[in-house]
């Protein structure tokens, strides 16, 4: 089926938002202006949520997880457009019309299509900025190394293009497995990732690390890849996605999970990860400003297996950071305080993620942002 492609354009709104971004991020004016993967705090036109339904693994707790998604929808659509992907568009629209203020609902777009699950971070477009607009990269999503069904979610990007919502140029990379949660960009040419994920079975074998790095540098128009070789979370289905462990923040900062409990099974690996982060240097040769996040409280599923709760799985939107909480007041407060240091110009908004973690993900896993210029209907 043919996919509509429209030549991207830059609007006055885009330019004003870019000027505002430049004013607020003075130290980062070295950000490259040619084709690149922007940092998540770059001005956004929209965020995608793929809505839970009864045919997903959320069925046993559908009511509870829907409440969490309504919270996320409220916060996102209060700041920018929200794109909701769902096989039940009319039902979700009716629900949100009932639950949210009118001005918030006016910011929501609905796209109807079948879905396997809800993890938009890993099946959504990875969007580059170019000198003339945006480029929408569609990689293969295979259920985190063929662990779960993903044939419907792997078609979401193509279906979105066919619904004529985006104005960026579509690029087909469906011969290469890459999940959005496995990479972080500082917007200045550096990509942060983990060797455990990108070299995991059933991703891109028989490619070597050198092969994969070459492809990533080309596809993402990056200057270099920083590979984290240590760090994991028990119960993580993703093979150590970077967004569960360490995240780029403004002003050459990395927020990362720190474990101080020597009796915790994560202590040794996260200590080695911390040491490797300390060894990393910016493109200008300076050490990164490191902000440790507390180890999230221990949470377990009904079988007693530990769940991969993490404060690193926060979502950056326009003017706010949505931070997951896990029902431990003291640790939640500490994480809030640390994220406020990393994002002094953003509001830190807490979202109870105790239900989200039951399916081994959290807020960042649930959403995918699009930079200004990617959609036809923008703020």
Residues above pLDDT 70, as percent of the chain: 91
Given this model, what pLDDT does residue 28 score? 45
CA nearest neighbour of 49 among 350, 369, 317: 369
Q: 336-343 long-range CB contacts below 8 Å, 24 or more apart?
A: 338/255, 338/291, 338/292, 338/293, 338/294, 338/311, 339/255, 339/291, 339/293, 339/311, 339/314, 341/291, 342/249, 342/250, 342/253, 342/255, 342/291, 343/41, 343/249, 343/250, 343/316
The reported pLDDT for the residue numbered 12 is: 41
Asked if residues 117 and 142 have their Cβ atoms less than 8 Å apart, the reply is no
Domains and CATH numbers, the chain: 12-19+33-371 (3.75.10.10)
**pLDDT of the residue at 379:** 54
Q: Give residue-wise pLDDT tens across range 146-196.
A: 999 999 999 999 999 999 999 999 999 999 999 999 999 999 999 999 999
- In this prediction, the residues of the chain whose per-residue pLDDT falls under 50 are 1-16, 19, 22-23, 25-31
What is the reported pLDDT for 23?
Answer: 47
Contact 228, 242 (CB under 8 A): yes
* Edge-to-edge order in the sheet of strand 183-185: 183-185, 190-194, 224-228
Give the CA radius of gyration of the chain.
Answer: 19
> What was the pLDDT predicted at 71?
98
Query: Can you give the pLDDT at residue 337?
Result: 98
Q: Among candidates 49, 85, 54, 47, which has minimal Cα distance to 70?
A: 49
Supply the angle between the helices 62-77 and 89-99 in degrees, to the nearest 10. 70
The structure's pTM equals 0.92
Residue pLDDT, tens place only, 249-267:
999 999 999 999 999 999 9
């Amino acid at each position: 089926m043919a996919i509509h492609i429209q030549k991207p354009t830059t609007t006055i709104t885009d330019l004003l938002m870019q000027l505002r971004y430049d004013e607020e991020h003075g130290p980062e004016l070295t950000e490259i202006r040619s084709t690149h993967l922007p940092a998540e705090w770059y001005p956004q036109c929209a965020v995608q949520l793929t809505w839970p339904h009864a045919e997903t693994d959320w069925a046993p707790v559908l009511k509870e997880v829907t409440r969490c998604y309504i919270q996320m929808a409220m916060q996102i659509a209060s700041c920018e457009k929200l794109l909701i992907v769902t096989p039940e568009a009319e039902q979700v629209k009716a629900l949100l019309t009932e639950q949210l203020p009118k001005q918030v609902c006016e910011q929501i777009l609905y796209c109807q299509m079948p879905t396997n699950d809800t993890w938009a971070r890993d099946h959504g477009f990875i969007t580059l900025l170019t000198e003339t607009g945006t480029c929408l990269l569609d990689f293969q999503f295979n259920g985190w190394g063929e662990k779960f069904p993903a044939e419907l979610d792997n078609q979401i990007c193509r279906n979105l293009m066919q619904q004529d919502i985006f104005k960026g140029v579509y690029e087909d990379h469906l011969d290469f497995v890459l999940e959005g949660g496995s990479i972080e960009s500082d917007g200045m040419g550096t990509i942060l990732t983990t060797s455990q994920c990108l070299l995991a079975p059933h991703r891109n074998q028989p490619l070597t690390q050198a092969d994969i790095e070459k492809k990533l540098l080309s596809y993402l128009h990056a200057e270099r890849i920083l590979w984290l070789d240590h760090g994991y979370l028990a119960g993580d289905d993703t093979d150590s996605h970077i967004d569960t462990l360490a995240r780029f923040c403004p002003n050459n900062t990395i927020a990362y999970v720190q474990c101080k409990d020597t009796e915790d099974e994560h202590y040794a690996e996260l200590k080695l990860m911390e040491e490797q982060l300390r060894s990393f240097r910016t493109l200008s040769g300076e050490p990164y400003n490191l902000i440790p996040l507390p180890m999230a409280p221990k949470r377990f599923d009904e079988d007693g297996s530990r769940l991969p709760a993490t404060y690193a799985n926060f979502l950056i939107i326009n003017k706010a950071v949505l931070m997951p909480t896990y029902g431990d007041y003291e640790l939640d407060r500490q994480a809030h305080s640390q994220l406020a240091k990393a994002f002094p110009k953003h509001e830190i908004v807490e979202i109870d993620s105790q239900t989200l973690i039951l399916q081994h993900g959290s807020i960042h896993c649930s959403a995918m942002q699009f930079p200004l210029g990617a959609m036809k209907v923008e703020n």
